[in-house]
A and B are shown apart, each in its own frame.
Chain A
Amino acid sequence: MDKDRGKDNKDKKEGRDGKWEVSDHELVPCHEIISQKEVTALLKEYDIEKEKLPKLLSTDPVAKEIGAKVNDIVRITRKSSTSGVFIAYRLVML
């Protein structure tokens, strides 16, 4: 697991001239596009096709911010009251 996972995007704020983005909000969990290698591993782990994943609209504000394109898979790392940290994946659509 890479170190940055679970952290929000706050530290990247400098590069954007201090402009505010939705992912700065504490209720917006960390979204990141995952690599082709990770995608293959994910689909193998659950033994499914891409289309069976939950969806994320390409027009979603967070999707726009991280530059997700249709057919990308986004990893969402959020806090969970039962397991501490919970990781979900979504397929960007439309």
Chain B
Amino acid sequence: MLDRMNKKIDNIAFGLLSPTEIRKMSVTSIITPDTYGEDGFPIDMGLMDARLGVMEPSLRCKTCGRRVSECPGHFGHIDMAMPVIHVGYTKILKDLLSGTCRKCNMMLLTKEEISNPKGKKAIIKTASSKSICPHCGEEQRPIILDKPTTFREGGQRLTPVEIRQRLEQISDEDLTHFGIDPKATRPEWMVLTVLPVPPVAVRPSITLETGERSEDDLTHKLADILRINRRLRENRDVGAPQLIVEDLWDLLQYHITTYLDNQAPGIPPARHRSGRQLKTLAQRLRGKEGRFRSNLSGKRVDYSARTVITPDPNISINEVGIPIDAAKILTVSNAVNEYNMEMLKEIVRNGPNDHPGANYIVRPDGARLKISEKNKEQLAERLAQGFTVERHLIDGDIVIFNRQPSLHRMSMMAHRVKVLPYHTFRLNLTVCPPYNADFDGDEMNLHVPQSAEAIAEAKILMMVQENIISPRFGGPVIGCLHDQISGAYLLTRGEVYFDLEECSTMLGDMGYRGKLPEPKIIDGKKCLSGKELFSLLLPEDLNMEFKASICNNCKECKKENCDIDAYVMIKDGKLMHGTIDEKAIGVFKGALIDKITRDYGKDAGREFLDTVSKLIVSAIMIRGFGIGLDDYDILEETSAQIEGLLTESEERLQEVVRAYKSNELEPLPGRTILETLEMDAMKILGRARDRAGEITGEELGLDNTAVIMASSGARGSPLNLTQMAAIVGQQAVRGERISRGYHGRTLSHFKKDDLGSKAKGFVRASFKEGMNLTEYFFHSMGGREGLVDTAVRTSHSGYLQRRLINAMIDLSVDQDLSVKDSAGNIIQFRYGEDGIDPTKGKTDWEGKIDEILAHVTGG
């Protein structure tokens, strides 16, 4: 490639095609709207003239003599009977016409005004606002653009001929002040006298099954232009009445305008016989499905696949399960050498239909031979060094896996292939968070890197295990979720014992090979504790201390003597105290995952994640875990207590309302009395719900499965619990109690000016009891707001993200650790101001003197 690059682009200039240029590049003038003759061959000087290039594989181009695949196509031209304005340039035309004198065609500016430092826009504006020419003193009339292409000067219509004459008179020097380079563009070229006709390759005709030909929209439009053009010329030449000529001229203008842009404002779009809008030139380029966004910015690739994803907890985080049918289509090319010859021969012998097979072999001369059931034996025999085999994907190949929206570098990660039966991509659950994937029908894409370089790069930089720690915040983005966290909690909290049979189930599931600690005898059975089992996964010299997620943040931490076993202490790879939960192994938080991947390497991190999830899932299956309605049952006394609490709050609210109504309420600074009342109400009712939550929480206790999930960080929050078991609480719209609806009240169920709790959206029931009608309505109002908010937020943040990406797209960190753009401009003198890669540097050293000392002194 490099040796062919002997030319360098120095600059690019944009300009308009002049009529001379259009004629020069044209191979023929087009005069007749007909396409094909009765013999089925293109008519000379018709829209499908063979000199414009040919579309049939059997024909040769009349201009260059080449076939379809080699001939690039050639332009023709149509000579216009009368000049016509180009819609794309009406804005510039208006500036030019109103900025120059109608008599002397000089720019309406004095010398001083031309050197206005404010820029071209300001110059053009002052020129257009002049009413008298500073050069010849002629009075100027305002130019109005009547959309799309009609210009009026003081009410009188300017014909394209007149406009063209004026534009011809503008001097080159004045043009530069309008921002036009006179060497590349003359303004009169914006009024068309000759129209280029694109080659047939741009507007191919389609042959239907019936043998009927159907022409492209552009061809239809060009035919319209030709018909009107001919009629206009004939009428003008025979001296038809002015009115008829003008009508035809307008019609020609309409056809040219819609040919260029069929969605130009102020004009009815040209339609197909069926009523469908024609897709003309501008429509081909514009918008999401246009040439730019769809074909130039958006590329489609080979060696890729897409299907639904489903979970598989038994494959490694580094792996991805590929349906066998996909593996037989996706290929990797392997060069034949003396070491792999026998293996590749075997693969070729399997043919394209049996799994570890191959689809093509490439001969040293570059010829690709398709392997079929018939020739597979024969091709396998011919295999020799210098050949390349395009073999099926097999276990261990590297592929890149991706889920849109790709907002992250972790949205595309490299996985190892694992060929599996059925038709979905299989994904380890712990890698869902970086992809933001779930299994409610999500689909994902897969790409197979082909070259050795690409494979190596994917393996070293993009492998899942290399991305456990996110560069965004320096913590793990891959970690345990949901049941895995509940499972860890059940396994490790307190002293839980499993007999040896259960232990061997679990250890078998996680594939443990190694020694076991000395079992204890409990109830006559040899047992191991959950903490001991968990310790088997930890590196032997691991030392850590931290607070678990279930920690209540007591004022004084009792450390290892914690009442609820929330203080995690790991000594020499043994979990001595504490519960393993979200803080240890969860996504975004897991301190253990972070420590292991940073200190013991990516391989150890991957190994830990793979085994810990298997152990935990096995544990939760032995113990059993589930929730039912009666898990939310609360004692009658507690119920009564909550009831009392609510009545009391209700009374306090009524008190405030009374104070408000008798104008005795003291307003808060900067608030009206009503605002003060609302704030008080929110506070009182909010506190009532919080208190009710605390009471139910105490009653349910730490053995309740819902409480386990909430406190260990597996799923749900204490608030969800309160709402299910005790009380839903105040519903809010825009952060305030619900207030709108009828005059002075929210619903017709309430009296006017009722400021009490029920009338303003306080839901006293719990989800379990069920809401009454008004409560349900208020709850729906709050719920709707939530939905709208998320919809708005995602679109906003998506656009913000896009802008940031476009602004920073090619910034890079240089060798001297400075951040530079592609032109070498310095953006930041040191990356992140400290030059530290958050995935590699240590975080959270602050306040951990002991740990630092231990680390430095080696214990």
**Residues on A facing B (Cβ under 8 Å):** 45-48, 52-54, 80-83, 86-89
Contacts and interface: CB of A to CB of B under 8 A. Distances in A.
Interface in B802-830: 816, 818, 820, 823-830
B454 to A, nearest CB: 31
B833 interface: yes
Contacts of B827: 54
Contact of B816 (A46, A53, A81, A82): A46
Q: Which 4 A-B pairs have the closest CB atoms?
A: A83-B834, A82-B834, A80-B833, A86-B833
A52 B824 contact: yes
A79 to B, nearest CB: 10
27 contacts: A46-B816, A46-B826, A46-B829, A47-B816, A48-B824, A48-B826, A52-B820, A52-B823, A52-B824, A53-B825, A53-B826, A54-B825, A54-B826, A54-B827, A80-B834, A81-B833, A82-B833, A82-B834, A83-B830, A83-B833, A83-B834, A83-B835, A86-B829, A86-B830, A86-B833, A88-B828, A89-B829
Given A46-B829, A48-B824, 4 more contacts: A52-B820, A82-B832, A83-B835, A87-B829
Contacts of A88: 828-829
Interface string B834-855: 1110000000000000000000
A42 to B, nearest CB: 10
B689 to A, nearest CB: 37
A52 B827 CA distance: 9
B706 to A, nearest CB: 40
A57 B832 CA distance: 24
A46 B833 contact: no
B817 to A, nearest CB: 10
B816 A52 contact: no
Contacts of A47: 816
B825 A52 contact: yes
Contacts of B818: 46
Contacts of B833: 80-83, 86
A54 B820 CA distance: 10
A94 to B, nearest CB: 12
Interface in B548-584: none
Contacts of A80: 833-834
Contacts of B825: 52-54
A54 B828 CA distance: 8
Interface string B303-334: 00000000000000000000000000000000
A82 B836 contact: yes
B832 to A, nearest CB: 6
A48 B825 CA distance: 8
A2 B837 CA distance: 29
Contacts of A53: 825-826
A45 B830 CA distance: 12
A81 B836 CA distance: 13
A28 B834 CA distance: 21
Interface residues of B, number: 16
A82 B837 CA distance: 12
Contact of A45 (B816, B820, B835, B836): B816
Main secondary structure on B side of the interface with A: loop
B754 to A, nearest CB: 49
B215 to A, nearest CB: 56
A37 B445 CA distance: 56
Contacts of B828: 88
Contacts of A86: 829-830, 833
B471 to A, nearest CB: 14
Contacts of A46: 816, 818, 826, 829
Contacts of B836: 82
Contacts of A83: 830, 833-835
A50 B215 CA distance: 60
A20 to B, nearest CB: 29
Contacts of A48: 824, 826
A80 B835 CA distance: 12
Contacts of B832: 82
B74 to A, nearest CB: 46
A81 B834 CA distance: 9
Interface-central residue, B823, B827, B834, by most chain A CB under 10 Å:
B834
A31 to B, nearest CB: 15
Nearest to A83: B834
Contacts of A89: 829
Task: Select the residue from B820, B823, B824 with max chain A CB neighbours within 10 A.
Answer: B824
A45 B829 CA distance: 11
Given A45-B816, A46-B816, A52 B826 contact: yes
A83 B824 CA distance: 24
Nearest to A76: B829
Nearest to B824: A52
Contacts of B829: 46, 86-89
A54 B829 CA distance: 10
A46 B827 CA distance: 12
Interface in B388-411: none
A89 to B, nearest CB: 7
Contacts of A54: 825-827
A54 B825 CA distance: 7
Nearest to A81: B833
A86 B824 CA distance: 21
A91 to B, nearest CB: 10
Nearest to B825: A52
A82 B824 CA distance: 24
A10 B370 CA distance: 80
Interface in B472-489: none
A80 B818 CA distance: 16
Nearest to B828: A88
A71 B827 CA distance: 18
A27 to B, nearest CB: 17
Contacts of A52: 820, 823-826
B252 to A, nearest CB: 51
Contacts of A82: 832-834, 836
A34 to B, nearest CB: 14
B210 to A, nearest CB: 66
B572 to A, nearest CB: 34
B524 to A, nearest CB: 60
Nearest to A53: B826
A51 to B, nearest CB: 8
Interface in B770-825: 816, 818, 820, 823-825
A14 to B, nearest CB: 33
Nearest to A89: B829
Nearest to B821: A52
B842 to A, nearest CB: 13
A48 B820 CA distance: 11
A61 B816 CA distance: 32
A89 B830 CA distance: 11
Nearest to A78: B833
Nearest to B818: A46
A45 B826 CA distance: 12
Nearest to A80: B833
A17 B833 CA distance: 37
Contacts of B816: 45-47
B204 to A, nearest CB: 50
A93 to B, nearest CB: 13
Nearest to A87: B829
Nearest to A79: B833
B319 to A, nearest CB: 36
A82 B827 CA distance: 17
Contacts of A87: 829
A48 B824 CA distance: 8
A45 to B, nearest CB: 7
Contacts of B830: 83, 86
Nearest to A85: B833
B711 to A, nearest CB: 32
A54 B823 CA distance: 13
A49 B226 CA distance: 59
Interface in B626-656: none
Contacts of B826: 46, 48, 52-54
A48 B832 CA distance: 20
